[in-house]
Every structure is written in structure tokens, then in C-alpha cells.
Amino acid sequence: MEAGPRDTEQDAPDALHGADRLSPDGPDELEVTPEVEVELRPARRLRIWQLAPIVMLAAVGSLMFAFPLAFEFGDGGAVVAMLGLLISCCAAGWGMMAARRVGYTWPGLPQRGSGERSDWRVIALYVVACGTLVALAIWRVARLR
């Protein structure tokens, strides 16, 4: 017998069967199960206790604004309508602040802290829409007198 390396392929033919699945740095990726990312925190949503006062305030304000304008309740109708408009705007602002705190944004605007710049056309559209609504409301209340 001579001393030297042995030819293991001839000695153990079934050793080849297990050797083709291994690479020098471990098992192939085919056998590794895919990793799944799971979010541990629940999704941030507006809860019912946050939405209920906002919706109730908006409903009361819009009714205070709509009824004097629609039925013209004497001389105090304009004052009640403006108070209703103020309450409705407060409810809208409160709702926007709550939604922003949860992470929601207006359509067309980037997420908070994303580093993206908002498009000036989207902002101009929002300004024109809000300005038009305010102008129509003031015009309608001014016609009551």
C-alpha cells in the first residue's frame, strides 16, 4: 500500500449524492425557507373615539349653516349660519390634524417626513377649491341681509 490521498469517489459512490447540494460556504439557497417580514406594531388608524366627536361637530355645524341659509330664519339667520360655518371649519381642521397624526395625507401630497416635495399644481388646486367654497359661503350669507 502506498501512502497518498484516497479517491473517495470510487470508494463511496453515494457520497456524491450529498455533495452536489452543498457549496463551500453552506447549503444552497434553494433549501432555505424565504424570510417573511412581519410588522409588530398594529397599523395606525383613526379609532371610533377619535372620529365620533369630529363627525358630530361637523354634522351640527353643517346643519347650523344649512338651515338658516335654506329657510331664512329672520334677522339672526346670517349670524347662526356664520357660526355653523365656523364650527364646520373647526371640525374639518380637527379631523385633518387627527389624520395627519396617524400618518394620512391629502391626495397628491407626499407623506410626512418622506423628503419629497409636493407638486405646486396640487397645492394650487386645493387653494382654488377652498377659496371657491369660502367665497360661495360668504356670498350666500351676505345675500341674507
CB 81 within 8 A of CB 63: no
Question: For the ranges 22-26, 114-118, 140-144, which has the lowest average pLDDT?
Answer: 22-26
Query: Residue 114 pLDDT more than 70?
Result: yes
CB 21 within 8 A of CB 27: yes
pLDDT tens for each residue of 61-107: 888 877 777 776 667 777 777 788 888 888 888 888 888 888 788 88
Q: What is the pLDDT of residue 95?
A: 86
Q: Express as a percent the part of the chain with pLDDT over 90.
A: 7
Q: What is the pLDDT of residue 54?
A: 86
- The mean of the pLDDT values for the chain is 76
Query: Residue 26 pLDDT more than 70?
Result: no
Instruction: Give rounded-to-5 percent helix, strand, coil for the chain.
Output: 55, 5, 40
Residue type, 99: A
Q: Could you tell me the three cell numbers for 104?
A: 394620512
26: region left, alpha or beta (phi > 0 left; psi from -120 to 50 alpha): left
